[in-house]
């Protein structure tokens, strides 16, 4: 019997993005304006959200960059 796996794309509204990232509303929009945060996706005429996979990638990049900075300076994150 074959198993079908579906990749469902989830979209997060602003409160969920703030909760997941720990960033304030102002920081999210400021970083977005600078091109340093994932872009919003218009999901209806009056509704925008963020792709959860893009938010996860953003967080993973921040973790990797922080660890790289600590390693290059000879410090550890613990």
Sequential DSSP letters for 16-46: HHHHHH---HHHHHHHHHTT-SPPPEEEETT
Residues 57, 15: Cα–Cα separation, whole Å: 18
Range of the domain at 47: 11-72
pLDDT, average across residues 14-41: 98
Sort 50 into a burial class: Cβ within 10 Å, 0-12 / 13-18 / 19+.
buried
Domain presence at residue 78: no
The number of distinct structural domains making up the chain is 1
In this prediction the pTM is 0.79
Mean pLDDT of the chain: 90
Domain presence at residue 3: no
Domain presence at residue 41: yes
Domain presence at residue 52: yes
- Reading phi first (left if > 0) and then psi (alpha if -120 to 50, else beta), residue 22 is in left
pLDDT, average across residues 32-44: 97
């Amino acid at each position: 019997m074959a198993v079908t796996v579906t990749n469902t794309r989830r979209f997060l509204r602003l409160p969920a993005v703030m909760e997941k990232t720990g960033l304030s509303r102002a920081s999210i929009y400021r970083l977005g304006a600078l091109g340093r945060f994932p872009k919003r996706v218009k999901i209806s005429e009056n509704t925008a959200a963020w792709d959860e996979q893009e938010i996860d990638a953003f967080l993973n990049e921040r973790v990797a960059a922080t660890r790289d900075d600590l390693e290059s300076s000879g410090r550890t994150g613990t």
